[in-house]
Amino acid sequence: MNKLLNAQNTGVPLTIIEKSTYSAWQSQQTQCTQTWLAQTNFSGDGLALIPHFSAKLQGELAQALFVVNDISHYFACGDLINKLPTGQYLLKADSQYYSAICFSWLMGAYQFSPYKTNNTEKKLPSLALENEQTIVDKAIKYAQATALVRDLVNTPASDMMPINLADSATYLADSFGGEVKQVIGDQLLEHNYPTIHAVGRASTNSPRLIDLTWGDKNHPKVTLVGKGVCFDSGGLDLKPAAGMRNMKKDMGGSAHVLGLARLIMSHKLPINLRVLIPAVENAVSSNAMRPGDVITTRKGLTVEIDNTDAEGRLVLCDALCEASQDKPELIIDFATLTGAMRVALGTELPGFFSTNDQVAQDITAAGSKITDPVWRMPLYAPYNDLFKSTLADMTNCSAGPFGGAITAALYLQKFIEYDVDWVHFDVMAFNVRALSGRPLGGEAFGIRAVFDYLQSRYQQ
C-alpha cells in the first residue's frame, strides 16, 4: 500500500471537491480549461482529465478533477484509483477530508485474486499528500485492517478451517509482539469448553479456542471475542442450498476481531488486549450434536439443543463466559449470528447491543463520524421467557420466528458474568452488492467505529 499512497510533494495536481462547489471552482479556471470542460460535456460529477494547453506541454495531463457527492464519506473516492491513468497525483483538497480520501483511495485497490490463474498485478496510480506522513500512515493501517478482514472471509472454507484461522491469528500476533495460545480438540473438554467441543466435534478439522494476548498487563483490559464458525452447514438441521452458499463467511466475526486487533496493535493503543476465537466447523457426521441433546456449558448452565443451526451462540457462550471470568473492563464480540438481524437492518447496517448506554452512544457517534454506521438494538429482557426448556435450564433458541437477533443477544448475555461492560455486534461480514470501494464478498463492518471509540476512551 506504500506504493499507492505517500507524503511526497510531486505529481499531477488532483483536485477533489463536492458537487456544490463545482461551479465556483470552474469559474476560477483559465478560459482554455473552461472551454475544455464544456466541450467534453463534463457534467460536474465524477472525473475530468484536463490537458496542458501551452505549446510546450501540449496534450500532457495538466490536472485532474474529481467531483463527489459527500467528500466526508469514507468510501467517496472508492472508485478513483481505478479510473485515473497510472502515474502520481498530488492531492488538492480541504485537509479535513484527507483521511477519508486516503482510506477510500486505498480500498479501491482491494482485490482478492489468489484463486485466479491469470493473476497479473494491475498497474495503479499513486497519490501524494505533501508532508502528511501521519495521515498517510493511519490510512494505510485502516486499509490493511479492512483488507485483512476481507481476505479472511473471502478465503474458501477448505483453506480457512480452524487451524488456518489459528495460523492467521499467530501470524498477526507475531507481527506485533503478541502471543497466541490454543486449546485444541479434546483438550476443550479437559479445559471445560464443552459447548465449543460439542459444536465442532463432528468435523475432521479439530475445533479449538484461539487465545491471543498483546500489550502491557498494567493497562486496562479489553477482550474481543469473535465467532469463528469456519463453515456453517447448519449441522443435522442442515441448511438448504441457498442458505449454505455463503457460509464460508461464518467466521466473519473472528475476522472482524482480528482486523480490530490489528488496528489496536498497529496504533499501540495502551490497553491489555485479549482476543478469544472459538473456531469450529459446524459439520454433519454420526457424532454430531443432535436436536434434543443437552450440553452442560462452561458456566454450568444446561442447554437443550433446539436447533443445531443456532451454533454461533453455542461456541460464543463458552468463550464469553471465559472472557468475563477474567474480569476485563470491556468485552466486545463480533458474530455473523443471525439472519434475523439482516431482516431487521438489511445487509449493510450492522446492529449491536450494549449493556452500557454511554458506550453505545459513543460507538454510534464514532461510527457516524467516520462513515462506519452502526445501529443499536435493545436487549429486551421480557423475551428471556422464550428460551424455556422442559428438561434443561434453557434451549439454544426461541421457538418462535420473531425477534431472532434480540433473542440471540439475550442468550449470549446470560453468559456474561460480573459487572463487565459488554458490546455485541451481529454483522453480515459480506457485500451482496458492489458499492464504491466495496466489491462483492467479504467486508468489515463497524471495526473503524469501534476502534475510534476505543482510541478516544483509552488514548490520552
**Residues lying near Zn ion in the complex (CB under 5 A):** 229, 232, 250, 312
List, as one string, the DSSP characters of 24-67: HHHHTS-HHHHHHHHHTT--SSEEEEEE--STTTTTSEEEEEEE
Task: Decide if residue 232 touches Mn ion (CB under 5 A).
Answer: yes
The answer to the question of residue 195 lying near ligand BES (CB under 6 A) is no
The residue among 140 and 289 lying less far from Zn ion, judged by its C-beta, is 289
Q: For residue 255, give the nearest of 194, 175, 172 by alpha carbon.
A: 172
From candidates 8, 170, 307, 371, binder to ligand BES by CB under 6 A: 307
Choosing from 262, 313, 342, 438, the catalytic residue is 313
232 binds ligand BES (CB under 6 A): yes
Question: Smaller CB distance to ligand BES: residue 106 or 303?
Answer: 303
Q: Does 336 bind ligand BES (CB under 6 A)?
A: yes
Q: How buried is 83 (Cβ within 10 angstroms: 0-12 exposed, 13-18 middle, 19+ buried)? A: middle
Asked if residues 286 and 166 have their Cβ atoms less than 8 Å apart, the reply is no
Under DSSP, is residue 283 helix (H, G, I), strand (E, B) or coil? coil
Q: Which stretch binds ligand BES (CB under 6 A): 34-42, 109-117, 334-342, 369-377?
A: 334-342
Tell me which of ligand BES, Zn ion, Mn ion, none is bound by residue 340, counting a contact when its beta carbon lies within the kind-specific cut-off of 5 to 8 angstroms: ligand BES
How far is the C-alpha of 186 from the C-alpha of 201, rounded, in Å? 9
Q: Does the annotation count 239 as an active-site position? A: yes
| d(C-alpha 27, C-alpha 34), whole Å | 8
- Taking CB under 6 A as the rule, does residue 291 contact ligand BES? no
Q: Is 217 one of the annotated active-site residues of the chain?
A: no
Q: In angstroms, how far is CA 380 from the centroid of its own chain?
A: 26
Site for ligand BES in 383-402 (CB under 6 A): 397
Separation between Cα atoms, residue 227 and residue 290, nearest integer Å: 21
Contact yes or no for 260/224 (Cβ under 8 A):
yes
Kindly state whether residue 377 participates in binding ligand BES, applying the rule CB under 6 A.
Answer: no
Nearer to ligand BES, 257 or 428 (CB): 428
- Distance CA(359)–CA(349), nearest Å, equals 18
Segment near ligand BES (CB under 6 A); pick from 73-81, 165-173, 330-338, 350-358: 330-338
Q: Which residues are known catalytic residues?
A: 239, 313
Which residues of this chain interact with Mn ion, rule CB under 5 A?
232, 309, 311
Which residues of this chain interact with ligand BES, rule CB under 6 A?
232, 250, 307, 309-312, 336-340, 342, 397, 404, 428
